Structure 1
Amino acid sequence: MNFRRLVSDAAWNDLLHRGQRRRYARATWLFQQGESPDFVIALTDGIVKITQLMEDGTETPLALRGQGEVLGEIGALLDEPRSASVKAVSECVGYVLPAHAFRGHVDRHGLNPTVYRLAIQRMHENEQLRTALTRLPPQARVARVIRYLAAEIGERGDDGTVALHLGMSRDELAAMASMSRSSAMAVLRALHDAHVLALGRERLVIRDSAALTELSEG
């Protein structure tokens, strides 16, 4: 679920029409935690990584988002500083809209319930994932995180496989699964050997979605 899937073609096209098209190179920060919420970005191409700086100074990846997402909308609506940072993990294209113009767009198209629903859904998904990671064994943790990411940015092939351009290190993937890098790598190798996954440097392919789902339930 993302913003594009929840709004009409007219509302989405109007949003793009009122924004300024901008291209972001890989590894570029779109905005950073703590900044003023002066604008939102409607992402039309590419994948971004959402990260949050913790109190101990570590940067933790929270999610990946793809085309059809609106970034920074909650801060713009609440007029509060950015709660997380967004970084391009591939070349991206987005339409930048000033915060006041986005608020006008939401009012004009009656989208307040839609934005609220999406925000609650995101919170619910994140809470479910965090809760699951406290009780699941290592293999199930990694499988659950990969399923979560696949739901957001997975590209389904004609052969039934699902490709994920992660754009994150193994350390970051391990952090998302609340485990050490060595433990996460051991699980990934086991899933690769079992032909559930095919591993690349910053990319992986889900070969057997049914098996991954079963494993993710612990």
Structure 2
Amino acid sequence: MNFRQLVPAEAWQDLINRGQRRTYRRGSILLSQGESPSSVIALAEGTVKVVQVTEAGDSLTLTLRGAGEALGEMGAILDRPRSATVQAVSACVGYILASHAFRGYLERYQLATAVYRLAVDRMQHIERLRTDLASLPPSARMARVVVHLTREVGRPQGDGLLVELGMPREELAAMAAMSRSSAAPVLSQLQAAGILSLGRSQILVRDTARLELAARAANPRDDHTL
């Protein structure tokens, strides 16, 4: 579920109507980690990635977000610096609303509690995903990450679901707690099995059921779904 699916249709349209329209090229930074939460962006078109820099200085892509999201909503609600950077991985259209106006919008539609709960649930899901990866075999790690991204931003294309990655393979590998060299054969195996097709910056998931089975493998001996 994303923000647009959570709120009534008229509430989403009101958010769009109140915001200032802005277009973003691929690679543009929409929000920066550590900056003041002065505004919220309603993402109407495109896909973005959420990137966090750790205390050690490492940059890690946490997830992708697509159209229908409110970006920067937690900073606006809590009035705290942004916890991550948001970057466009495709051409995007967003509507910018000042944080104080966004808080008033939530009060008007009585959405504050639901929006806060959605944001917390999603953060907890990402933390669980990162924790689970440590105990999974390589193929299940990558399958689990692709399942997550498909649920977040997958859109129908032909007989499958297309995920616009907009990131190099080593970045996708890092999301699965793998090196690029260890991730490459796993992706090739998934492709050879007809579960997905690989593009330069896209993944087309052709068999969601088998991908989810691969993601649930508890150990290498269980990883027989490919």
* Superposition TM-score tier, normalisation by shorter sequence: over 0.9
- Compute the TM-score of the two structures, normalised by the length of structure 2: 0.94
Counterpart in the other structure of 1:52: 52
1:193 and 1:92 mapped to 2: Cα distance?
Answer: 33
Counterpart in the other structure of 1:203: 202
Matching of residues 119-130 of structure 1 within 5 Å: 119-130=119-130
1:96 and 1:123 mapped to 2: Cα distance?
Answer: 23
The letter for the 1-side match of 2:211 is L
Stretches of 4+ aligned residues off by more than 3 angstroms: none
User: How many pairs were matched up?
Assistant: 217
2:61 and 2:34 mapped to 1: Cα distance?
Answer: 16
Counterpart in the other structure of 1:64: 64
| Secondary structure, aligned partner of 1:37 | coil
Residues 95-148 of structure 1 deviation map (CA, whole Å, 9 limit, x = unaligned): 000010001001111001211221122023112211220111000000000000
Counterpart in the other structure of 1:190: 189
Counterpart in the other structure of 1:139: 139
Counterpart in the other structure of 1:149: 149
Counterpart in the other structure of 1:178: 177
| Secondary structure, aligned partner of 1:60 | strand
Unmatched tracts of structure 1, length 5 or more: none
The letter for the 2-side match of 1:92 is C
Counterpart in the other structure of 2:221: none
| Secondary structure, aligned partner of 1:148 | helix
Counterpart in the other structure of 1:42: 42
The letter for the 2-side match of 1:100 is H
Q: How far did 1:211 drift?
A: 1.0
1:195 and 1:53 mapped to 2: Cα distance?
Answer: 35
RMSD: 0.9
Residues 153-174 of structure 1 deviation map (CA, whole Å, 9 limit, x = unaligned): 1012352x11111111111101
Counterpart in the other structure of 1:4: 4
Residues 14-34 of structure 1 deviation map (CA, whole Å, 9 limit, x = unaligned): 111111000001100001100
The letter for the 1-side match of 2:147 is R
The letter for the 1-side match of 2:212 is T
